[in-house]
Amino acid sequence: MDKNSHIKFPVVDAPRLRLDEITDKDVKAIHKLFTLPEVLEYHDLECLTDREQAADIVHEFRARFDERTGIRWAIRLKKDSRLIGTVGFKSWDREMRSTELGYDLLPEYWGNGYATEAINAILKSTIFNELPWGALHRIQAETIPGNSRSESVLRKLGFKEEGLRRDAGYWKGRYHDLRCFGLLIKNA
Ligand SMILES: CC(C)(COP(=O)(O)OP(=O)(O)OC[C@H]1O[C@@H](n2cnc3c(N)ncnc32)[C@H](O)[C@@H]1OP(=O)(O)O)[C@@H](O)C(=O)NCCC(=O)NCCS
């Protein structure tokens, strides 16, 4: 069921970036992003092999929004509108007032502060009040130990490390420890 047919997808503005909806026009860019081993090194996703899989991911992102279980933005450079990554929330739990953050960027754009800028813009935006999904109090994120870039991003944004869940993930034929980070939103 499309619960959000009347809700406009919220666009978020950042100094160098525009965050907006991922559409069918982005399938090629999403395919490229999720075929790169560097992007997927600490990810539960296997490298994509064909364009159909990228189309499925785009549809899944849209379904999360339609079902009110999450939202995923395209991260686009303002200067040329190129999709350079994605960011968003999944497992949005209205009762628990919590959600999970995820993000990824094409490697050629790493190290320029783009991921931090994108997430910071979301946190400072009014989207949590605009989405009629109930109050949000906690944002959590999980990293695989070794993903220092991602942990730097979270720490810069004020996320606190909360502990290590041993062997909490299983993908690509082995167990993975997951390091938990959390950010509390004060006014909810
Ligand atoms: C994680 C990711 C989104 C970071 O994007 P980014 O735009 O490069 O992030 P930023 O530039 O905002 O910040 C990166 C930080 O990592 C630091 N960093 C860079 N190389 C590093 C390294 N080898 N080890 C540790 N930290 C490193 C940078 O110095 C920077 O911190 P600083 O500003 O305090 O100096 C990107 O690396 C990525 O897409 N990785 C693959 C997907 C992924 O792992 N997603 C997260 C899953 S939890």
pLDDT digits (tens, 9 = 90+) for 40-59: 999 999 999 999 999 999 99
pLDDT digits (tens, 9 = 90+) for 120-170: 999 999 998 888 888 899 999 999 999 999 999 999 999 999 999 999 999
The band of 36, judged by pLDDT with boundaries at 50, 70 and 90, is very high
The band of 2, judged by pLDDT with boundaries at 50, 70 and 90, is low
User: What are the CA-CA distances from residue 5 to residues 57, 61, 62 (Å)?
Assistant: 20, 15, 11
* Residue 48 CA, ligand 1 centroid: distance in Å: 22
CB-CB contact of 76 with 84 (8 Å): yes
What SS3 class is residue 39? Answer: helix
Q: What is the pLDDT of residue 29?
A: 98
User: Which of the 8 DSSP states describes residue 11?
Assistant: P
- Please name the residue whose Cα sits nearest to atom 21 of ligand 1: 149
pLDDT of residue 62 exceeding 60, the answer is yes
pLDDT digits (tens, 9 = 90+) for 103-112: 999 999 999 9
What SS3 class is residue 152? Answer: helix
Q: What is the pLDDT of residue 87?
A: 98
CB-CB contact of 144 with 154 (8 Å): no
Q: Within a 10 A sphere around the Cβ of 73, how many other Cβ atoms?
A: 27
* Residue 150 CA, ligand 1 centroid: distance in Å: 5
* Residue 3 CA, ligand 1 centroid: distance in Å: 35
pLDDT of residue 1 exceeding 60, the answer is no
- Please name the residue whose Cα sits nearest to atom 31 of ligand 1: 152
Burial (Cβ within 10 Å: 0-12, 13-18, ≥19) of residue 58: buried
Who lines ligand 1 at CB under 6 A? 39, 42, 103-105, 110-116, 143, 147-150, 152-153, 156
pLDDT digits (tens, 9 = 90+) for 132-143: 888 899 999 999
The band of 187, judged by pLDDT with boundaries at 50, 70 and 90, is low
12-184: which CATH architecture? 3-Layer(aba) Sandwich (3.40)
Beta bridge partners of 142: 180
- Please name the residue whose Cα sits nearest to atom 26 of ligand 1: 149
Indicate the domain borders of the chain: 12-184
Question: Using only C-alpha atoms, what is the Rg of the chain?
Answer: 16
Which of 39, 40, 152, 180 is the pocket-test mutation for ligand 1 (most atoms within 8 Å of CB)?
A: 152
pLDDT, the chain, mean = 94
